[in-house]
Amino acid sequence: MPQSAPPAPADGGQARDYRDVVLVAPVTVPYVRYSIRNAHWFVAQALSRLLKESGLEKSAVDGLSVGSFSLAPDTAIGLTQHLGVTVRWLDHIPLGGACGVVALRRALRAVQCGDAEVVACIGADTNHVDSFRQSLGSFSVFARDAVFPYGSGGPNASFAFLTAYYMRTYGATREDFGKLCVAQRDNALGYRHALFKKKLSLEEYLSARLIADPIRLFDCVMPCAGAEGFLVMTRRRAESLGLPYAVVRSTCERHNAFADDAIQTRGGWVIDRERLYAAAGIEPKDVDFVQTYDDYPVMSAIQLEDLGFCAKGGAPDFIRRHSFTANGSFPLNTSGGQLSVGQAGCAAGFLGLVESIRQLTGRNLAAPVPAARFGLAVGFGMITYDRGLCSGAAILGRADA
């Protein structure tokens, strides 16, 4: 496959840094496999927790950003009336696994530029017994026309193609992916919101039920209901409120990168990683933990490569050389990731960010990463046809970083 060189950034300019804006109040509305509540309920609970965590009145929140797939026919605007909030900045970001990073980027700029003072960023989705199946056939025009009529395997079948190709091309084994899944389950055992509460052995992973060859049960996330959120405000405001905060060193976002690749083996990070680290003033080796977007373990492998922790195709060897628990040589998905916590729709796009803020503010629910100063949270998603279109990332730091 042609591996064309990433295009040079068109503007060549340096984006303004984020030093005056911060992230506070990481919250999670506990996940449930199925809920009879609508997405509105989960957004409301997330907002309520954000207010409780920050001590702010509802009226102090003047910006709202919502990522959700299951609000229809509502969007964020319907939520303002539903929840009784008056805001001067509003965003609706149904970008699945990328909505957290995208929401973060937009909210940071809004606060930085004075369009809003406090932005509540929330990713929330409900999951009724039949909603996942119903959402598959209507996810996108391309999926409805050109994917769903082919076996209706959903994302499992799409990622089976990518996984099989990656394994064949780069020599990854089921054991490599299994090592990630087992380590993440170990991380999840210390995280009370994780839906999976039992230890996973490599043997169980390898011999699990076949879903879509080579993907087996524990390669797949569990669709569920839940919400994640955080607040964006100025550093000064956070300090005056006495709230612990995490800083943002740099971010990136790219959609529909490498459209001519025959099959996905890389994401837009390849184009953006140089600027991402340069703007952060650090290198990959300085990152103390990584929260990949782990909808399937192959995507974790691809993200480790594309974000500079190893060369393309080097992930299998990287995985064999490292340990991935919170106290391991390469702490990864320290709350368990989606694979062990669950995938609550768009909340999954927030999971890594919220866990990163917790790690960097010392408000851990899961096991802490020792002396963590920098964390990388990755967004990825929207497989509208044969590949995930959105890729994003954010490098967060401890307040003193």
Partner 1 sequence: MIPPLKRPRRKNPILRTRQPLLPPWMRSRAALGLTAAAALGRFELQVCAACGTVQYPPREACHRCLAGALRWREQPGLGELISTTTVHHSHDLFFRERVPWNLGLVRLDVGPTVVAHLHGGCGPAPSRVRIGARLDKSGQGVLLAFPLDEVANMADDRQLREMTCDPKFRKVLVTDGKTAVGQALVRALIAAGADLVWVGHAEPWKKFAGLAELAALPQVTLLPLDLTDSRSVKQLAAEVGGKVDILINTAELHRAHGIASRSGVEVARAEMDVNYFGLLRLAQEFGPVMRARGADGQSSATAWVNLLSIYALSNFPPHGTFSASKAAALSLAQCLRAEMRPGGVRVINVFPGPIDDEWNQMLPPPKLGAQALAKAVVGALQDGIEDIYPGDVAQEWRARFEESPKTLEREVSV
Which residues of this protein are in contact with partner 1, per CB under 8 A? 132-133, 136-137, 141-142, 144-154, 156-157, 160-162, 164-165, 168, 209-215, 259, 262-263, 385-386
- Beta carbon of residue 102, minimum distance to partner 1 (angstroms, whole number): 23
Q: Reduced to 3 states, what is the DSSP secondary structure of residue 114?
A: coil
DSSP 349-390: HHHHHHHHHHHHHT--SSPPPTT--EEEEEEEE--SSSS--E
- Beta carbon of residue 333, minimum distance to partner 1 (angstroms, whole number): 24
How far is it, in rounded angstroms, from Cα 310 to Cα 275? 17
- Beta carbon of residue 261, minimum distance to partner 1 (angstroms, whole number): 9
- Beta carbon of residue 117, minimum distance to partner 1 (angstroms, whole number): 40
- Beta carbon of residue 322, minimum distance to partner 1 (angstroms, whole number): 27
CB closer to partner 1 out of 147 and 172: 147
CB closer to partner 1 out of 41 and 385: 385
Q: Reduced to 3 states, what is the DSSP secondary structure of residue 125?
A: strand
- Beta carbon of residue 214, minimum distance to partner 1 (angstroms, whole number): 8
Tokens of residue 400, six digits: 């003193």
- Beta carbon of residue 146, minimum distance to partner 1 (angstroms, whole number): 4
CB closer to partner 1 out of 15 and 157: 157
Q: Reduced to 3 states, what is the DSSP secondary structure of residue 127?
A: coil
DSSP 37: S
How far is it, in rounded angstroms, from Cα 378 to Cα 359? 15
CB closer to partner 1 out of 27 and 160: 160
Backbone angle region of 256, left / alpha / beta, with phi > 0 → left and psi within -120 to 50 → alpha: left
CB closer to partner 1 out of 156 and 334: 156
How far is it, in rounded angstroms, from Cα 183 to Cα 378? 18
Which residues face 29 on adjacent strands? Answer: 227
CB closer to partner 1 out of 77 and 146: 146
- Beta carbon of residue 257, minimum distance to partner 1 (angstroms, whole number): 14
How far is it, in rounded angstroms, from Cα 73 to Cα 269? 33
CB closer to partner 1 out of 83 and 206: 206
Question: Sign of dihedral through CA atoms 16, 360, 333, 24?
Answer: negative
DSSP 162-184: HHHHHHHHH---HHHHHHHHHHH
CB closer to partner 1 out of 142 and 362: 142
How far is it, in rounded angstroms, from Cα 347 to Cα 77? 19
What number of residues does the chain have?
401
Do β-strands 63-67 and 119-125 pair in parallel, antiparallel, or remain unpaired? Answer: parallel
